[in-house]
Amino acid sequence: MPFRDRYTGLINRYRDHLPVSDDTRIISLGEGNTPLIRLKNIPKLLGKDVEIYVKYEGLNPTGSFKDRGMTMAVTKAVEEGSNAIICASTGNTSAAAAAYAARAGITAFVLIPEGKIAMGKLAQAMMYGAVTIQIRGNFDEGMELVKQVALQAPVTIVNSVNPYRLQGQKTAAFEIVEELGRAPDYHCLPVGNAGNITAHWIGYCEYSAQKGTKVTESCAFCDGNCRYAGGPIIGGNRPAMIGYQAAGSAPFVRGEAVKNPETVATAIRIGNPQSWDRAWKVKEESGGWFDELADEEILAAQKLLAQREGIFCEPASAASIGGAMRDIKTGRIPEGSTIVCTLTGNGLKDPDTAIKQCGDSRMVTIDANISSVKDAILGNM
């Protein structure tokens, strides 16, 4: 491939569809362009005639989908003259914010809940050089503090309340449609702060509009005040959007904020989503739904995906595939459907949880001689 054609990140790839100019200094780590992998073994286990794909966002530079939004948020922060960014985080946002701040040469401040963040994510934030502030509280309390601080200090918020985050994240939908040749019938995502399900809907709506159709007058991201509003939808251009939450942290399923959310899926341990209103609109417009999974179901899906398909995602990511499997089994997602499940983060983000699941079942300790090795092999065949 000629050097001039090499991939240099999603902003350059989709520059005409993002709020940047020719003079904008792009802050990128080569994010985006993640694989869309068709599952081969899990559909057979289900015994259903469906096509299931996973969009493996864990192969972004810092290991999660947050990089898509962060490249845009930090690019615009720098363009607007900011020397510092701030976020509240359950882990992935802090890792991405820290990395892109380092790339830009600015300071990142990250607020994390003490003792409630996976070690892989904490290590990233610290190694990238962020000023890491642990609070004796949860993500929702951290988010409120961040919003208050931003009113009093010269820092730019890079959580999903920052509109540029969603602009970057919408590009995942572009990639999916381009690879499949059309939108899937169903798109399943884990839901925490609910920015990602909103961003994907933005992407599907814009892609549909660019192909000659228009979105409804009350679309979820602009309330009818954009160049795509004003006409009917032609069927088949956008998927039903399905959001899955952990049972201990499921405000959309409860219909109200959850005061003290708890789940092993730390990335979606959020009780008061910042994109609440928009996510509800996405559900209504797309004909989708919200549902919940117990931690045991989430962990079982994570392990199944790794051991049957060779794809290692973090627990929160597995909510999408676990929920999809359950809805396929019950027929809520009908046979003949094409389904895309977003895997939001890499399994290496939370190795402790993965190792606890496996216990000693996949490890044996033997003497260092050929006979012992041979016996160990034969005994596990």
- pLDDT tens digit string along 205-253? 998 887 644 444 344 444 444 433 333 333 348 999 999 999 999 999 9
Average pLDDT, integer, range 1-22: 86
Is the pLDDT at 98 greater than 70? The verdict is yes
298 vs 263: CA distance, rounded Å: 10
Q: What is the pLDDT of residues 146-163, one digit of tens each?
A: 999 989 999 999 998 899
- Return the number of other C-beta atoms located less than 10 Å from residue 224's C-beta: 12
pLDDT of residue 218: 40
- The whole-model pTM stands at 0.89
Is the pLDDT at 282 greater than 60? The verdict is yes
Q: Which helix (H) or strand (E) holds 95?
A: helix 92-104
Q: How confident is the model at residue 2 (pLDDT cuts 50, 70, 90)?
A: low
> Which residues, other chains included, contact 169 with Cβ-Cβ below 8 Å and sequence gap of 6+?
65, 68, 69, 195, 196, 199, 200, 203
Q: How confident is the model at residue 360 (pLDDT cuts 50, 70, 90)?
A: low
Give me the numbers of helices (H) and strands (E) for the chain, helices first please. Answer: 15, 10
pLDDT of residue 345: 96
CB of 279 closer than 8 Å to CB of 285: no
Question: In the chain, pLDDT over 70 holds for what percent of residues?
Answer: 91
Is the pLDDT at 285 greater than 90? The verdict is yes
